[in-house]
C-alpha cells in the first residue's frame, strides 16, 4: 500500500474542500472496496477524505411512504432498521445478504452505490424500487445514476448524501450467491409499486451492470405470479462470463431468480 493522507470531513462543504485541495484524492466510506483496491496497488490516492462522520450522511427515516437512507448507513444498519423492515422488508433482507458480518458492519450504501460493482446487491434494489440518489449537487433517478460496469453519473467532487425509496406494494429479492465472496452471480429485485407499475432489476449477470427486463415487467403487470416470468428468457449475449459461470448459465439464472423473487414478494 502506498502512503496516503487521511482526513476526517466534518461537513459536506469540508469534504468537498478537502478533496479539492488534494493532488489525487478519493472519498472514503466503509473502505471495504477502496482499501482493498489500495492494498492490491490498483489505486494510490494521495488523500482519503472520510465521509462517515458527516451528520447529513447519517440516519434512516420513514416519512409517509418514503424511506430515506443516509449514504453512510452501514449494511447492518439498513438490515436492522425498523423503518426499512416495516416499509420495505425486501431491502432489509437484501442488506442482510451482503458479504459477511465484517463487511456489513463497515460497508455503506453510499459506498456500494458509488462503486457500482456489477455483482453488488444495492444497484438492483435502487433500480427495482425506483429510488432517487441525492447528492450534494442534484437528485438523480436510479435509472439515470447507474451508467455501466463500475460507472455512475457521479462527478469527481460529487458526494452521495442519501438515497430515498418509495415504499412499494410488494417487493422481493433473490440472489444466487458466489459461495466464496457472497457477491451476486445473479440477483433479481421484483417490485410492484403503489402506482401499479412493475419493475424487475437484475444485478450480477449483465456485463454493463444492473439492467431491467421489460418483458418480465409487462408480464407481471398483467399477472403477478412466478408463472408469468417462467418462460421469459434473456439473451446470453450481454451476460458476464467468468470462471464462476458462463453467460448462458447466468442468463438461465435470471429467469430462475426472477421466479423466486416474485414468489418471495408474495
Ligand atoms: C469480502 C467481501 C464481500 C462482499 N460481498 C458483497 C456482497 O455480497 N454484495 C455486495 O453488494 N457487496 C459486497 N461487498 C462490497 C461491500 O458491500 C462494500 O461495502 C461496498 O462495495 C463499498 O462500500 P464502502 O462503504 O466500503 O465504500 P468504500 O470502499 O469506502 O468506497 C468505494 C468507492 O465509493 C466512493 N464513495 C464512497 N462513499 C461515497 C459517497 N457517499 N459519495 C460518493 N462516492 C463515495 C469511494 O471514493 C470509492 O471510490 C463485499 C466486500 C467484501 C470485502
User: Domain limits of the chain?
Assistant: 5-49, 58-166, 170-265
Give one DSSP letter per residue of 9-30, joined into a string: -SSHHHHHHHHHTSSSEEEESS
Helix and strand totals (H; E) in the chain: 12, 14
Helix, strand or coil, per DSSP, at residue 228: helix
Asked if residues 25 and 18 have their Cβ atoms less than 8 Å apart, the reply is: yes
Q: Which CATH superfamily is domain 170-265 in?
A: CO dehydrogenase flavoprotein, C-terminal domain (3.30.390.50)
Indicate the helix (H) or strand (E) that contains 144: helix 142-145
Domain 5-49 coded CATH 3.30.43.10: yes
Task: Please list every protein residue whose CB sits less than 6 Å from any atom of ligand 1.
Answer: 26-34, 36, 51, 71, 98-99, 103, 107-108, 110-112, 114-115, 117, 120-122, 154, 159-160, 181-183
Q: Cα(63)–Cα(61) distance, rounded to whole angstroms?
A: 6
pLDDT, tens digit only, all 266 positions of the chain: 678 999 999 999 999 999 999 999 999 999 999 999 999 999 999 999 999 999 999 999 999 999 999 999 999 999 999 999 999 999 999 999 999 999 999 999 999 999 999 999 999 999 999 999 999 999 999 999 999 999 999 999 999 999 999 999 999 999 999 988 899 999 999 999 999 999 999 999 999 999 999 999 999 999 999 999 999 999 999 999 999 999 999 999 999 999 999 999 98
58-166 CATH pick, 3.10.50.40, 3.65.10.10, 1.25.40.10, 3.30.465.10: 3.30.465.10
**What spacing in Å lies between the alpha carbon of 241 and ligand 1's midpoint?**
23
Terminal Cα-to-Cα distance of the chain (whole angstroms): 48
Amino acid at each position: 500500500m502506498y502512503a496516503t493522507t487521511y482526513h476526517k470531513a466534518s461537513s459536506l462543504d469540508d469534504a468537498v474542500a478537502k478533496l479539492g485541495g488534494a493532488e489525487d484524492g478519493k472519498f472514503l466510506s466503509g473502505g471495504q472496496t477502496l482499501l482493498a483496491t489500495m492494498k492490491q496497488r490498483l489505486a494510490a490516492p494521495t488523500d482519503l477524505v472520510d465521509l462517515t462522520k458527516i451528520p447529513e450522511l447519517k440516519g434512516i427515516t420513514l416519512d409517509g411512504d418514503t424511506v430515506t437512507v443516509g449514504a453512510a448507513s452501514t449494511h447492518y444498519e439498513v438490515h436492522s432498521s425498523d423503518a426499512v423492515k416495516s416499509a420495505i422488508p425486501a431491502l432489509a433482507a437484501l442488506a442482510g445478504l451482503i458479504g459477511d458480518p465484517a463487511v456489513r458492519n463497515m460497508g455503506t450504501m453510499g459506498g456500494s452505490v458509488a462503486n457500482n460493482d456489477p455483482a453488488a446487491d444495492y444497484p438492483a434494489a435502487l433500480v427495482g424500487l425506483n429510488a432517487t440518489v441525492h447528492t450534494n449537487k442534484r437528485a438523480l433517478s436510479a435509472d439515470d445514476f447507474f451508467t455501466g460496469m463500475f460507472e455512475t453519473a457521479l462527478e469527481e467532487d460529487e458526494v452521495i448524501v442519501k438515497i430515498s425509496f418509495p415504499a412499494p406494494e410488494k417487493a422481493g429479492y433473490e440472489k444466487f450467491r458466489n459461495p466464496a465472496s457472497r457477491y451476486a452471480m445473479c440477483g433479481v429485485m421484483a417490485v410492484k409499486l403503489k402506482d401499479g407499475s412493475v419493475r424487475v432489476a437484475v444485478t450480477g449477470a449483465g456485463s454493463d451492470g444492473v439492467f431491467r427486463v421489460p418483458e418480465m415487467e409487462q408480464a407481471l403487470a398483467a399477472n403477478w405470479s412466478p408463472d408469468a416470468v417462467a418462460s421469459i428468457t434473456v439473451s446470453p449475449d450481454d451476460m458476464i462470463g467468468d470462471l464462476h459461470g458462463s453467460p448462458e448459465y447466468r442468463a438461465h439464472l435470471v429467469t430462475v431468480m426472477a421466479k423466486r423473487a416474485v414468489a418471495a414478494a408474495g
